[in-house]
Structure 1
């Protein structure tokens, strides 16, 4: 990843976004008795998960495989107590 992508991810984390991973189980369109799994991962905001909701809406509108179930995990990578803004640095030699 480039520097811009690294900064974009850090900006999201500082805004409260955490890493969300979803395991999406769906039925095969040609063989509904068979289940397939798809793993989706993105930065998202708990507890409403707007990014995951957008993806699942896209799935319903665009893809043929009907959803069977969705399991997800979410972890904030930077918490409020882990980040402090520094206004200056003192260097002693």
Structure 2
């Protein structure tokens, strides 16, 4: 599922998005007994994962290799307590 607005990665993280990585196991179209894997990664919102599920729907509609299984992980890269506005900086030698 493509992004509808061009936002930077930092803007997405500040809006609560985290990095989602999924590994798709699928059967080869011509050899159904052979499994192959595909890695997908994008910024997504937990717990609904609209981009991940949008990609799964795209796969089921457009890709010939039927899905066997999907495993994924999600990590917020910026937590609310980790971001702060720095107004000044002091250096001591």
TM-score range, shorter chain: 0.7 to 0.9
**CA–CA distance in structure 1, aligned partners of residues 51 and 40 of structure 2:** 11
State the superposition RMSD in angstroms: 2.1
Q: Which secondary structure does the structure 1 equivalent of 2:16 belong to?
A: coil
TM-score (norm 1): 0.84
CA distance in 1, matches of 2:60, 2:13: 28
Higher helix share: 1
Unaligned runs of 5+ in 1: none
Q: Which residue is 1:34 aligned to?
A: 34
Deviation at 1:90, TM superposition (A): 6.8
Q: Show structure 2 runs of 5+ residues with no match.
A: 1-5
Residue aligning to 1:89: 88
Which residue in 2 is equivalent to 1:25? Answer: 25
- Cα gap change, 1:33/1:77 in structure 2, threshold over 3 Å: closer, same or farther? same
Q: Where does residue 76 of structure 2 map in the other structure?
A: 76
Moved over 6 A (4+): none
The total of aligned residue pairs comes to 87
Output the CA distance in 1 between the equivalents of 2:23 and 2:85.
Answer: 36
CA distance in structure 1 between the partners assigned to 2:43 and 2:58 by the alignment: 17
Tell me the secondary structure at the aligned position of residue 8 of structure 2.
helix
